[in-house]
Amino acid sequence: MRIVETDVLLVVDVQVDFLPGGALPVPDGDAVVGPVNALLATFPHAVLTQDWHPAGHASFHTSHPGGEPFGTVAMPYGPQVLWPEHCVQGTPGVAFAPGLDVARAELVIRKGYTHAVDSYSAFLEADRTTRTGLAGYLRERGFTRVVLCGLATDFCVAWSALDARAAGFETVVVEDAVRGIDRDGSVAAWARMAAAGVGRVRLAEIMAGRTAAAP
Ligand SMILES: [Zn+2]
């Protein structure tokens, strides 16, 4: 895959709480840091996302009487998975992963800050109507292809990829620079992304393209 000036790397939620030992650990989540750093060193442009919840956020099981972690509750916008408290503003867990090379990020977009609405997607909150502004930003910058990596495959990466595609961007996920929360959920997420026209590429294909394109 040859990288061009109109490509943007979208690094999704590589944050302390999603790593092993964090509040909502993605299995093997820390394994993405190396590949993501390689991508950050390669792409001409990069945007990072951060899950960024206020205390007492509606997606936390502790915000619902009798709510169990990984249970489901009916919200006005549809079913909502209930999560352990994670990525709370002002806590250490909300920070980017140690060792993540954030220096070249041109934008950090935060999501999930609306108290009563979750936001897996970097583009649209879970009510499916409230926009984060990211699509407009990417369009104004002239980007035409969004290349995604990060955490987690079956939630924030998939929802962001599907919304990038729906917003009209060519969309590709780097399959060895993501990790999922649930194996079956990740299989289903890959199927949904494929059906929507989201491409899938390996890190080595990107690096090979970079080598071929070098002067
Ligand atoms: Zn969250």
- Kindly report, residue by residue over 59-115, the tens digit of the pLDDT: 999 999 999 999 999 999 999 999 999 999 999 999 999 999 999 999 999 999 999
**Residue 154 bears catalytic tag:** no
| CA 198–ligand 1 middle distance (angstroms) | 23
Task: Evaluate whether residue 92 is within a structural domain.
Answer: yes
Q: Is residue 118 part of a domain?
A: yes
Tell me the two tokens of residue 54: 């206020």
Residue 153 included in any domain: yes
Does residue 69 fall inside a structural domain? no
How many degrees, rounded to 5, is the angle at CA 154 between CA 195 and CA 115?
Answer: 115
The Cα–Cα gap between 197 and 186 comes to 16
- Domain presence at residue 203: yes
Ligand 1 centroid to Cα of residue 60, in Å, is 8
Give how many domains the chain has, as a whole number: 1
Tell me if the bond preceding 46 is cis, omega within 30° of 0. no
The answer to whether position 23 is within a domain reads yes
Report mean pLDDT in 10-residue bins for the chain, 215 residues: 96 98 97 98 97 98 95 95 97 98 97 97 96 98 98 97 98 98 95 98 91 48
What is the 24 CA–ligand 1 centroid distance (Å)? 9
Q: How far is the CA of 87 from the centre of ligand 1 (A)?
A: 6
Domain CATH for 142: 3.40.50.850
Q: Tell me, yes or no, if 13 is annotated catalytic.
A: yes
State which H helix or E strand residue 210 sits in: helix 203-213
113: domain range? Answer: 7-55+85-213
Rounded to an integer, what distance in angstroms lies between the CA atom of residue 142 and that of residue 6? 6
Catalytic residue selected from 13, 17, 30, 154: 13
pLDDT recorded at residue 213: 46
111 classed as catalytic: yes
Q: Ligand 1 center to residue 175 CA distance, Å?
A: 22
Catalytic residue, chosen from 7, 51, 87, 156, is 156
Q: Determine how many CB atoms are found less than 10 A away from the CB of residue 133.
A: 10
Question: What is residue 82's predicted lDDT score, i.e. its pLDDT?
Answer: 96
Task: In whole angstroms, give the CA distance from residue 166 to residue 178.
Answer: 21
Q: What pLDDT was estimated at residue 211?
A: 56
Q: Does the residue 168 lie in any domain?
A: yes
Q: Which of 7, 87, 111, 149 is catalytic?
A: 111
Predicted pLDDT at 210 = 73
For 165, residues 6+ apart whose C-beta sits below 8 A from its C-beta are: 171, 193, 196, 197, 198
Domain contains 33: yes
> Do 29 and 18 meet the contact criterion of CB atoms below 8 Å apart?
yes
What is the CA(86)–ligand 1 centre distance, in A? Answer: 6
Please report the DSSP string for 42-91 in residue order: T-S-EEEEEE-BPTT-TTBGGGSTT--TT-EEEETTEEEE-B-S-SBTTS
